[in-house]
Amino acid sequence: MSNLSTSRMLICTENSVVELMDLNTMKNKRRFKVNLIKILLIKLNNKLL
């Protein structure tokens, strides 16, 4: 549990939206892949910008 919360904090520092998605994945495991793709797209957009 501590590992998950730590990684969630690290992601939150990069983008608060990603942190919200991560919280959503904890509640709904089935949407994990969809949210993971969104997270990767956001990170790619941040690098491009």
Instruction: Tell me the C-alpha distance between 24 and 46, whole Å.
Output: 21
Contact between residue 38 and residue 6 where contact means Cβ atoms under 8 Å apart: no
State residue 18's pLDDT score: 62
User: For 1-49, how does the pLDDT look when each residue is reduced to its tens digit (9 = 90+)?
Assistant: 455 555 555 554 556 666 666 666 666 666 667 777 888 888 888 887 6
How many folded domains does the chain comprise? 1
Contact between residue 19 and residue 8 where contact means Cβ atoms under 8 Å apart: yes
The domain containing residue 8 runs over which residues? 2-48
State residue 1's pLDDT score: 45
**What does the H/E/C string look like for the chain?**
CHHHHHHHHHHHHHCHHHHHHHHHHHHCHHHHHHHHHHHHHHHHHHHHC
Contact between residue 31 and residue 17 where contact means Cβ atoms under 8 Å apart: no
